[in-house]
């Protein structure tokens, strides 16, 4: 299999685009699509300090690499990686997350829930904890590594449930009182895993998780199975929601990026 751009050995075939790409052109393609999302939404501005929610997984690790490569040399912008731990202490996994940021020359801060007034614990939602830590770090925005599949599943689930309130919420995605951005919202999860394996030494490979025996699990299985047969399906779902949010008289405003998890 040869790369359609240069004729070198291809490492991936994108069924939804029909392209075969080598490692270099795959990385360039993903970067270009993420930059297009940032430009289309006007998410990055001079003076921004972006807090990247870093879990060490392929999504967030890839996001840190992408933002570092794209904006790391700009004197009018800055990056910081932030991690909310599951408990006190700095175990092997936490140290590994820190090394990912260190390897890119990005400052990193870690906190456990409840260890300080600025990072609440207990039953406080994770996004609020991230917001508190980002605020303490002086961030103007939080960047999440949420992928296309996660956003499409969230939209699909709300539609099936008939949760109209999800469509009438504020269109901005906010962690606490800091807006968040999702540059990889049109990038499939599998591509982020490949991107991380090519560009982020030491990223944490996520173990396969059993789909929970619940309505959410059934919806996930349904959409994943459909997407295997029709690779463009997740793109269509997200674009449909975006289209509805752009129609002022539709009576629907989609809270486009309110999903959990950050890769």
What pLDDT, on a 0 to 100 scale, did the predictor assign at position 87? 52
Question: Which two structure tokens, joined as six digits, stand for 206?
Answer: 């996520």
Residue 144 DSSP SS3: coil
- How would you classify the pairing of strands 78-84 and 12-14? unpaired
For every residue of 48-91, DSSP letters joined together read -EEEEE--SSHHHHHHHHHHHHHHTT-TT-EEEEEEE-SSSS--
Average pLDDT, the chain: 84
What is the topology classification, in CATH, of domain 12-245?
Rossmann fold (3.40.50)
Quote the pLDDT of residue 165: 54
Residues 6+ apart with CB under 8 A from 162: none
190-247 pLDDT per residue, tens: 999 999 999 999 999 875 555 556 778 888 888 988 988 999 999 999 998 887 766 4
Q: What does the pLDDT look like over 152-182, one tens digit per residue?
A: 998 888 888 887 555 544 445 555 689 999 9
Could you write out the three-class secondary structure of 199-243? HCCCCCCCCCCCCCCCHHHHHHHHHHHHHHHCCCHHHHHHHHHHH
Considering the chain, what percentage of its residues have pLDDT values greater than 90? 59
């Amino acid at each position: 299999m040869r790369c359609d751009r240069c004729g070198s050995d291809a490492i991936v075939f994108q069924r939804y685009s029909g392209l075969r790409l080598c490692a270099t052109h795959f990385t360039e393609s993903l970067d270009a699509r993420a930059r297009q999302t940032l430009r289309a939404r006007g998410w990055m501005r001079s003076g921004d300090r972006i807090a990247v929610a870093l879990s060490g997984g392929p999504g967030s690790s890839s996001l840190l690499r992408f933002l570092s490569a794209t904006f790391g040399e700009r004197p009018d912008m800055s990056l910081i990686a932030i991690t909310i731990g599951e408990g006190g202490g700095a175990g092997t996994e936490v140290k590994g997350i820190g090394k990912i940021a260190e390897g890119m020359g990005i400052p990193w801060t870690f906190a456990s829930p409840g260890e300080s007034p600025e990072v609440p614990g207990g039953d406080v939602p994770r996004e609020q904890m991230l917001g508190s830590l980002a605020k303490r770090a002086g961030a103007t925005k939080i960047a999440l590594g949420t992928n296309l599949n996660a956003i499409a599943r969230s939209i699909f689930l709300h539609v099936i449930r008939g949760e109209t309130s999800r469509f009438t919420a504020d269109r901005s995605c906010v962690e606490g009182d800091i807006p968040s951005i999702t540059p990889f919202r049109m990038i499939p999860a599998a591509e982020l895993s490949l991107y991380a394996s090519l560009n982020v030494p030491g990223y944490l490979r996520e173990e396969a998780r059993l789909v929970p025996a619940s309505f959410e699990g059934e919806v996930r299985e349904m959409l994943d199975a459909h997407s295997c047969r029709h690779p463009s399906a997740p793109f269509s779902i997200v674009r449909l929601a975006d289209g509805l949010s752009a129609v002022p008289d539709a009576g629907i405003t989609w809270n486009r990026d309110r999903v959990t998890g950050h890769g």
